[in-house]
Amino acid sequence: MGKIVAVTGNEACAQALKQINPDVCAAYPITPATDLMQRFSGFVNDGKVDTELVLVESEHSAMSACIGAAAAGGRVATATSSQGLALMWEMLHIAAGTRLPIVMPLVNRALSAPLNIHGDHSDGMGARDTGWIQFYSENAQEAYDNTIQAFRIAEHL
């Protein structure tokens, strides 16, 4: 039997990314997704992955960097939440329209008006018709599994 550990969804996704070892991850911090890429950056810093971690100036730039890296043939990921996803709006359509296999864990958070840090699906539902396949996780194990499956599906669909 495997080892049972208690982790958050962000930790589970970071561990999945570690196993996947993407070529490029572009990151810009936004709560509550910051922890995911912060944990993954530790794996990069410790040499546990060969990933090129690109720290950018906005979420729009994060998706732009992912589009460029995926178009060049890389295995690519980013992560975001709420307003970050909204800022990526233009680039989401470009990524989907060019059928690039980019994986983006979305740590759901309400879109702010003017500030909201509560969890809901308004960010993901706002991107529902952009052409991205969306998986929803009920717990950390599903977040881990869905992250790995997302790469397989994106690269072979």
pLDDT in tens, 96-131: 999 999 999 999 999 877 777 788 898 989 899 999
Q: Are 74 and 23 in contact (CB under 8 A)?
A: yes
Asked if residue 67 is part of any domain, the answer here is yes
SS3 content of the chain, % helix, strand, coil (to 5): 50, 10, 45
pTM score: 0.93
Question: 79 is written with which tokens?
Answer: 């992560």
pLDDT at 32: 93
Domains held by the chain: number: 1
Number of Cβ atoms within 10 Å of the Cβ of 117: 11
Region 14-28: what's the mean pLDDT? Answer: 98
User: 6: pLDDT confidence band, cut at 50, 70 and 90?
Assistant: very high
Residue 1 lies in a domain: no
Does any domain span residue 65?
A: yes
- Given this model, what pLDDT does residue 102 score? 98
Beta strands in the chain (DSSP E): 24-27, 52-55, 76-77, 102-103
pLDDT of residue 21: 98
The pLDDT-based confidence of 26 (bands split at 50, 70, 90) is very high
Provide the residue range defining the domain that includes 137.
Answer: 9-155
Q: Assign residue 150 the CATH number of its domain.
A: 3.40.50.970
pLDDT band for position 17 (cuts 50, 70, 90): very high
Indicate whether 82 pLDDT > 80: yes
In a domain, 2, yes or no: no
| Residues forming a β-bridge with 55 | 27
Percent with pLDDT over 90 in the chain: 85
Closest CA to 35 of 58, 64, 9: 9
136 occurs within a structural domain: yes
Say if 4 falls within a structural domain.
Answer: no
